[in-house]
């Protein structure tokens, strides 16, 4: 009877390939179901992003409307194709989130062994902050996407004797597009200075094919010309891209505290769109283990990159608290370091015992389950049943599209975000008539049905109309969302 050799088994030889396939399928299914799972509604930031995207035009781009331009172009296309729905607003983040998850998996797999990279990828793409970025219809995800893309493209160039020109051109294009995201100009400047200072990179640039290099140079210069022109013509754009829209030096340290509070509030949930804690205690302990395990090889590239991005995230959080979510990138690297350290220590205890490697599967599986399952439950149920967070999201758009009759007149103050948002809905669906001024109300005829968002204290309802119905939402606060008035027959 021949001896069983585990390394020759089919499942063993392709264990990492099978693991990545399962992870990819689970991640894709989860990401596309995010709008149906949690959170149940749209935040004010998402609605403002949808308005900005829909109002984007070629003339407005040249006149200063270039902040997060790549994201807003994608979101406008989504709204034009699918109409104004919660899913179409979130779809750009879902697509970019899928690309970001793939980039993180590829990056970790390039820097770490396959077993460590696979486990760290699972913990990262199923974490609460990553799922929030992927399921939120705002450009905030670009703050993590561009650095991750640049790191991965840089890993395809740095250290290679003759890197492929395609990777170099893609890297240059990503650098150009990244400057349209607030604060990333600092990262781009650092990379450009490093490329000029590094002799190997200078030589690589000189050896690139001349004609493609010239074409890429023209594209980059054109993009920079638009960017510089808008910076010089609009102080608001310059302030937003460099410091943040409402930046004040006096609030720098308070912004850092506000930005990172949701990550470490393991007690009472904080009020806001972020479900605290964004990082569980077990995940935090694993990342801290990874941070301390790199102290001897700090100047190895991946160690220094993780530490520098932590400092970068802290500084950016001082400018804009939401920028603290950049910590997702160094967190994934430190998680991989922590897993590598644990596995090396375990295998070091039994260097010649093959059964120890098999036995390690059970405690490691328990550890991963204790980190992943509570994190998913925290995300899915927390956004639905934590009042401090759930009340920050509105389901009004779904209620209006499902509950209101065609040609219902919706009364909304003309100077509000609601008016701007539902103007987009009126333009795309022609299902309601949006009135925002007292002059328009005088044209209402008794045959129309009138609806208001919340209890009306702004407009004078025309005579003869009485309250017929109130449509409610599941929120604990301000759940009386739509008041419907009509004339008694």
Residue 408 has pLDDT above 80, yes or no: yes
Q: How confident is the model at residue 353, as a pLDDT? A: 66
Banded model confidence at residue 285, pLDDT cuts 50, 70, 90: confident
Radius of gyration of the CA atoms of the chain, in A? 26
Q: How confident is the model at residue 157, as a pLDDT? A: 77
Q: How confident is the model at residue 356, as a pLDDT? A: 66
Q: What is the pLDDT of residues 141-156, one digit of tens each?
A: 999 999 999 988 888 8
Banded model confidence at residue 1, pLDDT cuts 50, 70, 90: very low
Banded model confidence at residue 207, pLDDT cuts 50, 70, 90: confident
Q: What is the pLDDT of residues 314-345, one digit of tens each?
A: 898 888 888 899 998 888 888 888 888 888 88
Please check whether residue 75 is in contact with residue 89, taking contact to mean a CB–CB distance below 8 angstroms: yes
Residue 49 has pLDDT above 90, yes or no: yes
Banded model confidence at residue 62, pLDDT cuts 50, 70, 90: low
pTM for this one? Answer: 0.87
Q: What is the pLDDT of residues 259-281, one digit of tens each?
A: 888 888 877 777 888 888 888 88
Residue 230 has pLDDT above 80, yes or no: no
Strand duo 432-435 + 465-472: pairing? unpaired
Reduced 3-state DSSP string for the chain = CCCCCHHHCHHHHCHHHHHHHHHHHHHHHHHHHHHHHCCCCECHHHHHHHHHHHCCCHHHHHCCCCCCHHHHHHHHHHHHHHCCCHHHHHHHHHHHHHHHHHHHHHHHHHHCCHHHHHHHHHHHHCCHHHHHHHHCCCHHHHHHHHHHHHHHHHHHHCCCCCCCHHHHHHHHHHHHHHCCCCCHHHHHHHHHHHHHHCHHHHHHHHCCCHHHHHHHHHHHHHHHHHHHHHHHHCHHHHHHHHCCCCCCHHHHHHHHHHHHHHHHCCCCCCCCCCCCCCCCHHHHHHHHHHHHHCCCCCCCHHHHHHHHHHHHHHHHHHHCHHHHHHHHHHHHHHHHHHHHHHHHHHHHHCCCCHHHHHHCHHHHHHHHHHHHHHHHHHHHHHHHHCHHHHCCCECHHHHHHHHCCCCEEEECCCCCHHHHHHHHHHHHHCCEEEECCHHHHCCCCCCCCEEEECCCCCCCCCCCEEEEEEEECCCCCCCEEEEEEEECC
Q: What is the pLDDT of residues 419-443, one digit of tens each?
A: 999 999 999 988 888 888 877 887 7
Q: How confident is the model at residue 141, as a pLDDT? A: 93
Q: What are phi and psi of 394, to 5 degrees?
A: -110, 135
**307, two tokens:** 């530490």
Residue 46 has pLDDT above 90, yes or no: yes
């Amino acid at each position: 009877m021949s001896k069983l050799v585990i390394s020759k088994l089919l499942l063993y030889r392709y264990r990492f390939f099978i693991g990545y396939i399962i992870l990819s399928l689970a991640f894709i299914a989860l990401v596309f179901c995010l709008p149906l799972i949690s959170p149940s509604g749209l935040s004010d930031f998402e609605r403002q992003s949808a308005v900005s995207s829909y109002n984007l035009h070629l003339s407005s781009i040249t006149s200063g409307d270039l902040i997060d331009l790549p994201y807003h172009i994608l979101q406008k296309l989504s709204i034009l194709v699918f109409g104004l729905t919660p899913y179409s607003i979130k779809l750009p983040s879902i697509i970019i989130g899928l690309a970001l998850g793939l980039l993180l998996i590829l990056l970790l797999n390039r820097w770490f062994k396959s077993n460590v990279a696979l486990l760290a990828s699972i913990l990262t793409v199923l974490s609460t902050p990553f799922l929030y970025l992927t399921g939120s219809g705002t450009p905030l995800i670009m703050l993590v996407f561009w650095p991750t893309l640049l790191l991965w493209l840089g890993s395809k160039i740095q250290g290679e004797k003759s890197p492929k020109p395609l990777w170099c051109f893609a890297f240059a294009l990503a650098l150009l597009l990244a400057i349209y995201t607030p604060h990333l100009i600092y990262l781009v400047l650092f990379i450009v200075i490093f490329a000029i200072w590094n002799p190997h990179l200078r030589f690589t640039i000189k050896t690139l094919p001349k004609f493609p290099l010239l074409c890429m140079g023209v594209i980059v210069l054109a993009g920079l010309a638009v960017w510089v022109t808008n910076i010089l013509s609009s102080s608001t754009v310059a302030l937003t891209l460099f410091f943040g829209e409402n930046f004040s030096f006096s609030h720098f340290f308070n912004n850092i505290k506000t930005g990172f509070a949701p990550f470490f509030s393991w007690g009472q949930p904080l009020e806001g769109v972020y479900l605290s804690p964004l990082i569980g205690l077990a995940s935090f302990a694993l990342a801290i283990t990874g941070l301390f395990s790199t102290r001897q090889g700090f100047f190895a590239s991946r160690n220094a990159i993780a530490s520098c991005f932590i400092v970068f995230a802290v500084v950016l959080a001082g400018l804009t608290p939401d920028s603290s979510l950049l910590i997702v990138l160094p967190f994934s690297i430190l998680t991989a370091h922590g897993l590598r350290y644990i596995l090396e220590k375990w295998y070091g205890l039994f260097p010649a015992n093959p059964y120890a490697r098999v036995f390690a599967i059970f405690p490691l599986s328990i550890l991963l389950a204790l980190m992943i399952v509570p994190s998913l439950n925290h995300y899915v149920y927390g956004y639905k049943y934590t009042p401090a967070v759930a009340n920050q999201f509105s389901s009004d758009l779904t209620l209006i599209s499902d509950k209101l009759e065609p040609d219902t007149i919706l009364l909304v103050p003309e100077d509000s975000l609601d008016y701007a948002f539902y103007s987009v809905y009126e333009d795309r669906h022609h299902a309601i008539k949006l009135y925002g001024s007292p002059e328009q109300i005088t044209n209402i005829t008794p045959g129309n049905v009138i609806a208001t968002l919340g209890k009306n204290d702004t407009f004078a309802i025309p005579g003869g109309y009485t309250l017929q119905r109130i449509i409610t939402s599941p929120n604990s606060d301000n759940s009386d969302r739509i008041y419907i008035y009509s004339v008694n027959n």
